[in-house]
């Protein structure tokens, strides 16, 4: 009798709390997928397209829960002349995101590239000495992070600081300030906005053992010194002509086991043109596997595509003869990669 009563109670509870009607339904768009997975799904934002292309703006705001200013927050964009700031494009990206309930990744505070000429020339010709350069870097970080305090979920504090040989990258920062500039940058960013998540971000970190090892060494050193570092960013720039990085999940775990949250920050999957159905199918598989790797690691919180449309992809300008790297084509029509992302589920 007791067993019968327990069975009846269980049956009643099952009837009283039915499964959600949409539990097995494919999400309608990436924003719904984001809610289902509990992972921010984002895109880099071309500020010019945001301002001037209504169709681009509509799709961006419909599909994504997270955005990254592709170029508008880089140093050469916001301070092209020393002490003369141009916040118009960066502010527009932030305003649009906040209006559309999108979280924001700040990109990037310290990089060896896209620096204003006044800064690189001054550091290289000696007219800006080490002490002044350190002061300039601190002011830059404090000014930019401070401007968006409370509005940016996460910052790429240092970007691509490890070279392809597994050494600290040669840059004006390393040459004139030494390796301590990395810890300083994190400390200053935290001081400017204590609530923002602070990341180290790099390319080929999904598979390059030299780069992985050096980045792990940097993270462990920063944590040992109690430097505020919160996240690891895997850029995720892949090409279908290369094997998919099959050990990516294990690599991500090595970093998240150190207490970091993780994000795939700049995902795209390029191919040698022209695109074919077979190539697009392989691309779709690569995108799905990247998102799945994120979803299966409970500390991975973000999957951002480096421009959702081929109309504004950086790839053709950097990789001769390659392209079609995004999840939508030039007309904003979803590709097989888009549909593949919608099929990802938590286990």
CB neighbourhood size of 179 (10 A): 12
pTM beyond 0.75: the answer is: yes
264 located within any domain: yes
CB neighbourhood size of 129 (10 A): 12
pLDDT in tens, 238-256: 999 999 999 999 999 999 9
| Residue 87: pLDDT over 70 | yes
| Residue 169: pLDDT over 90 | yes
109 located within any domain: yes
The band of 88, judged by pLDDT with boundaries at 50, 70 and 90, is very high
pLDDT in tens, 64-74: 999 999 999 99
Half-sphere exposure of 177 (CA within 13 A, CB side): 24
Helix (H, G, I), strand (E, B) or coil at 213: helix
18 located within any domain: no
Range of the domain at 219: 26-342
pLDDT in tens, 285-322: 999 999 999 999 999 999 999 999 999 999 999 999 99
8 located within any domain: no
| Residue 275: pLDDT over 80 | yes
The whole-number pLDDT of residue 17 equals 37
C-alpha gyration radius of the chain: 22
Helix (H, G, I), strand (E, B) or coil at 310: helix
| Residue 7: pLDDT over 50 | no
The two three-digit tokens of residue 34, written as one number: 């984001």
| Of 63, 70, 206, 266, catalytic | 266
- How many domains are there within the chain? 1
Scanning the chain, the segments in alpha helix (DSSP H) are 2-16, 30-37, 47-52, 54-63, 75-78, 88-99, 117-125, 130-147, 172-177, 181-192, 209-224, 248-256, 277-295, 315-318, 336-342
Scanning 296-342, the segments in alpha helix (DSSP H) are 315-318, 336-342
CATH number at residue 64: 3.20.20.80
Distance CA 184, CA 160 (A): 16
How many residues appear in the chain?
Answer: 347
The two three-digit tokens of residue 14, written as one number: 């099952």
The whole-number pLDDT of residue 15 equals 31
270: nearest Cα among 243, 297, 239? 239
Which whole number is the average pLDDT over 42-66? 98
The band of 166, judged by pLDDT with boundaries at 50, 70 and 90, is very high
Which whole number is the average pLDDT over 263-272? 98
Which whole number is the average pLDDT over 120-141? 98
Active site residue 32: no
| Of 63, 70, 79, 160, catalytic | 160
259 located within any domain: yes
pLDDT in tens, 211-224: 999 999 999 999 99
11 located within any domain: no
296 located within any domain: yes
Active site residue 160: yes
19 located within any domain: no
276: nearest Cα among 336, 339, 340? 336
The whole-number pLDDT of residue 23 equals 56
pLDDT in tens, 8-45: 334 333 333 333 445 579 999 999 999 999 999 999 99
């Amino acid at each position: 009798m007791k067993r019968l009563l327990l069975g009846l109670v269980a049956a009643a509870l099952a009837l009283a709390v039915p499964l959600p009607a949409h539990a097995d339904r494919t999400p309608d768009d990436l924003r719904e997928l984001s809610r289902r997975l509990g992972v921010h799904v984002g895109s880099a934002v071309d500020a010019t397209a945001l301002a001037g292309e209504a169709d681009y703006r509509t799709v961006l705001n419909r599909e994504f829960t997270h955005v990254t200013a592709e170029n508008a927050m880089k140093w050469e964009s916001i301070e092209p002349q020393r002490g003369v700031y141009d916040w118009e494009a960066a502010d527009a990206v932030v305003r649009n995101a906040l209006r559309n309930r999108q979280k924001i990744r700040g990109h990037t505070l310290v990089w060896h590239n896209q620096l204003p000429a006044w800064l690189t020339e001054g550091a290289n010709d000696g007219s800006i000495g080490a002490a002044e350069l350190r002061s300039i870097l601190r002011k830059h970080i404090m000014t930019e992070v401070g401007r968006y305090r409370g509005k940016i979920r996460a910052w790429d504090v240092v970007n691509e600081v490890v070279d392809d040989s597994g050494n600290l990258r040669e840059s004006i920062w390393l040459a004139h300030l030494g390796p301590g500039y990395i810890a300083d940058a994190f400390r200053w960013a935290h001081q400017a906005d204590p609530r923002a998540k602070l990341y180290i971000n790099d390319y080929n970190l999904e598979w390059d053992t030299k780069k992985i090892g050096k980045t792990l060494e940097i993270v462990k050193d920063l944590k040992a010194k109690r430097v505020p570092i919160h996240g690891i960013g895997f850029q995720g720039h892949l090409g279908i002509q290369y094997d998919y990085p099959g050990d990516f999940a294990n690599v991500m775990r090595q970093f998240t086991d150190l207490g970091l949250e993780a994000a795939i920050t700049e995902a795209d999957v390029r191919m040698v043109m022209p695109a074919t159905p077979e190539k697009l199918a392989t691309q779709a598989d690569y995108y799905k596997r990247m998102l799945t790797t994120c979803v299966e690691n409970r500390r991975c919180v973000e999957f951002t595509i480096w421009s959702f449309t081929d109309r504004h992809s950086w790839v053709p300008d950097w990789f001769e003869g390659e392209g079609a790297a995004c999840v939508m084509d030039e007309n904003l029509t979803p590709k097989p990669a888009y549909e593949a992302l919608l099929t990802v589920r938590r286990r």
